[in-house]
Structure 1
């Protein structure tokens, strides 16, 4: 078998990819190293590539702080419940729009593209949430934007590519639309559902602005809003580091541990869904 010759273009692309990976990973490695380093070592260098004076005191403090644990639970609820609602409306909407016989299909598609292109803005969104009585409620983090027009179109295109003969055979056997959707279409659409579901989930997990705008009660803050307070409020970190029992912890240790605490859970989901990415996105994007 002939060995493919490496061209200058291939070498340049590989070099750029390696460089991009290094630039992306360096901040992650630095934050993780600081979170595990001793308090006297965190300010010695501007970039820490490995922990110095290994300690887990910062993580002990993070996991023993009721505010952080409660905020983590709120974020988990928002992510799980929000993603479930997102997928429910996206799957059913995409299934309806994948039928070319749907009355007014072109009008619906034009409205979707219009909604995807133009946004009302922050103030109208806030007034709408306030009028619905959702302020200081986790529903304010979930219901606005319950359906993404982009993901709806992506899933609709995927469903349009499914073999029509399977649906016709199911209808001949007496399947209703609900049975057809639940037992046939959804199992065949696992790649796009997993991909879109992960995007929805990551969006909910990392949601920050909605928490700032809609949740004025700090006891209901999700993890990202509380993380902002920990990272940027020096008084908060100074107070936190002084509250530990006979153990010195620098604010940088607590900040880094909190960042890792907020990042790792969602990162653990990626390996399980990675195999669906290419198939889900490509098949949903190539057909109009």
Structure 2
């Protein structure tokens, strides 16, 4: 009996020749995974719950609530009725859309030209791009450059400094180098120009890496606040992240319209957490649709150098 059971037991404990971990090891891995998920989920849950909670419950809980007893959207109505958050949200959306689109265009064009042998000044330009990965200009020279260009207090000061990133150019160039050259040669024989080759052959095969750099730049533009802190003196042009910093980090008092919220004014913690939720949700909604391209875009782009 034992002779017939032993091979079957061995088959059950292996998958494609790899031994399965024991039950205690699998249980330990499950516990560790649960704790990691809890570390990520609980702070976000506390932020959302506090934005929906009433002031007495927030005071009783010491500032943060994990589950509101009487959820209310008063904090969200208050921040959107004030006008500051709504205006800052529109500024951030505009900067993110315009900046991400221009970044994709500039990075794609530069990476494609550097991936084609024989282009004008191919090696000097590539060395210049790689040089910027090692040395950055610094805050003061960048501020003086923006000032000399007359971009202070302009939305372009929030877009142009981060328009092209050398690391992303290297990734996209490596991805383009991995495309079979026979496809490009065949298109060139058929009379296609470089722009047609890029738009009709290269880009359709590079959707993964384009999605990755698009999301990277979108997150960078959406979360950026330091450039706005340096270059934007007009508070009406502040992006959402700088408004968030003003109310959450600096703990500035938010003006609330009594015609919207009535006599009951939401707690300051609820207003702060509501602004924080508004700043998180847009990127959190976009990320799941592009997350599948992350591994493919990074790994394939790293095959060739």
**TM-score, length-scaled by structure 1:** 0.93
- Confirm or deny: 8 A CA contact 2:130 2:166 kept in the other structure: yes
Give the one of 266, 273, 276 matched to 2:290: 273
RMSD over aligned Cα atoms = 2.0
Deviations 1:176-205 (A, max 9, x none): 101111111111110000011000001000
- Judged with a 3 Å threshold, the aligned counterparts in structure 2 of structure 1 residues 159 and 230 are, in CA distance, closer, same or farther, namely same
- Provide the rounded CA distance (Å) in 2 between the counterparts of 1:101 and 1:147: 23
Which segment is superposed worse, 58-67 or 134-143? 58-67
Q: Which residue is 1:260 aligned to?
A: 277
Segments of structure 1 that go 5 or more residues without pairing to the other structure are: none
2:193 to 153, 156, 176: 176
TM-score by length of 2: 0.88
Q: Is 1:28 matched up with 2:41?
A: no
1:44 aligns with 2:63: no
Instruction: After superposition, give the CA deviation of every residue in 1:55-113 in whole Å (9 maximum; x if it has no partner).
Output: 11111112222111111111111000000110111000110111233354333333222
Name 2:3's counterpart in structure 1. none
CA contact (8 A) 2:171 2:302 kept: yes
- Residue number among 114, 121, 142 corresponding to 1:125 in the alignment: 142
Tell me the equivalent position of 1:227: 244
Q: Distance in 2 between matches of 1:276 and 1:189?
A: 10
Moved more, 127-136 or 278-287: 278-287
Q: How many angstroms apart in 1 are the aligned matches of 2:89 and 2:233?
A: 17
CA change 1:284–1:9 in 2 (3 A) is farther
Deviation at 1:241, TM superposition (A): 8.2
Which of structures 1 and 2 has the bigger CA Rg? 2
Q: Classify 1:14/1:210 alpha carbon distance in 2 versus 1 (closer, same or farther; 3 Å).
A: farther
Change (3 A) 1:88 1:57: same
What secondary structure sits across from 1:137 in the alignment? coil
- 2:177 aligned with 1:160: yes
Cα pair 1:116 1:150 within 8 Å, conserved? yes
Once the two structures are TM-superposed, the CA of residue 45 in structure 1 deviates from its matched residue by 2.1
C-alpha distance after superposition, 1:234-255 (max 9, x if no partner)? 4413x43878421231000100
**Contact conserved, 1:241 with 1:251, CA < 8 A, in 2?**
no
- Which SS does the other structure have where 2:153 is aligned? coil
Q: Are residues 111 and 16 of structure 1, via their aligned partners in 2, closer, same or farther at CA, if it must alter by over 3 Å?
A: farther
Task: Return the alpha-carbon distance in structure 1 between the equivalents of residues 117 and 165 of structure 2.
Answer: 21
Aligned-residue offset at 1:128: 0.4
C-alpha distance in structure 2 between counterparts of 1:227 and 1:57, whole Å: 18
Supply the distance in 2 between the matched residues of 1:10 and 1:113 (Cα, whole angstroms). 45
CA gap 1:287/1:256 in 2 versus in 1, 3 angstroms:
same
Distance 1:125 1:3 in 2: 60
- Which one of 137, 153, 171 corresponds to residue 154 of structure 2? 137
Match of 1:187 in 2: 204
Deviation at residue 10 of structure 1 after TM alignment: 6.7
1:196-211 alignment, distance < 5 Å:
196-211=213-228
Are positions 1:246 and 2:277 aligned together? no
